[in-house]
Amino acid sequence: MRILDWETVVDRRDSIPGPVALTIGVFDGVHRGHRSLIEMVRGFSELTTPAVLTFRANPARRLQPQTYQGDLQTLGQRLEKLESLGVGTVILAEFDDRFRRMRAEEFLDRLRGAVDLRYLAIGRNFRCGREMQMTARDVRRYLEPLGVRVDIATPVVDNEHKVPVSSTVIRRAVLDGELERVRHLLGSDFEVDVADAPLERDNTECRLRKHDCSQVLPRSGLFEVELCSNGSSARDRLTATESHIRWARNCNTTNRVRFLRQLRLQE
């Protein structure tokens, strides 16, 4: 996968050769709704390079710091998932004050000036620009006269609950320990990346303070998990409390914790 920086792309110090088919979003979880956008980009034309424009960190961390409950995936996990879905090029942007203050027209013009944009796939709830001024339909009205085809994806619906699949819905399901629903909406098991986490270890268990984890975690309960480490894995039980998650096996080698099923609501 080729990973480009937004600033180097718009400053033309780096670029994507040839015509580009693009989708834009946070892609937290790279869930079923996100995958429909990726399929649209990949299927547009053999003559275009499929690419994704996303953010290094979820903008909600900056916009809603008091209420944001955590990411579904780390940046590394998102990039891994995008690559596994056939995305060969990703542009990463920082949602800093400079980016946040850009008017939508400026953002789209800078994007068009940086790459040969031929196609854009976005979700129905997509918004961009200062104070999120431009809707998905506005984007289409702005770009299509300039020769860019814009498709607005039909929402992917969770048929059981009759709501569109979204990162917010999945985040709530993780908090509530509804792992079957999470697996259905993500299309994969929920995993927590602990490779660089400040784990507390003693002779009997590993502990991770929820405050030290960027990802959303179940509020409480006893869970069956798979502890993954360098190509091997082992089953264990993990306890989630108000302040920590903890488990017993492979304390020194675990880099991912894969949640399989909830065993009890409370220990």
- Where do we find the tokens 């990802």? 215
Q: How many CB atoms within 10 Å of residue 159?
A: 8
Average pLDDT score over residue span 185-205 = 92
- The domain limits of the chain are 2-157, 191-264
| Rounded CA separation 177/175 (Å) | 6
Task: Quick: pLDDT tens for 212-224.
Answer: 999 999 999 999 9
Summarised one tens digit per residue, pLDDT across range 110-138 is 999 999 999 999 999 999 999 899 999 99
Looking at residue 254, the DSSP 8-state letter turns out to be: -
DSSP tag of 188? S
Q: Sorting pLDDT into bands at 50, 70 and 90, what band is 93? A: very high
Concatenate the DSSP letters of all residues of 92-159 into one string: EE---HHHHH--HHHHHHHHHHHSEEEEEEEETT-EESGGG-EEHHHHHHHHGGGT-EEEEEPPPEET
**pTM (predicted TM-score):** 0.93
**In this structure, which CATH number among 3.20.20.190, 3.40.50.620, 3.20.20.70, 3.30.465.10 belongs to the domain 2-157?**
3.40.50.620
pLDDT band of 77, cuts 50, 70, 90: very high
Percent above pLDDT 70 for the chain: 99
Task: Give bridge partners of residue 201 from the DSSP assignment.
Answer: 206
Task: Single out the residue of 104, 70, 52 nearest to residue 213, CA to CA.
Answer: 70
Among the residue ranges 81-85, 160-164, 169-173, 184-188, the one predicted with the least confidence is 160-164
159, pLDDT greater than 90: no
Phi, psi angle pair for 34, to nearest 5°? -60, -40
Q: Does residue 267 register a pLDDT over 50?
A: no
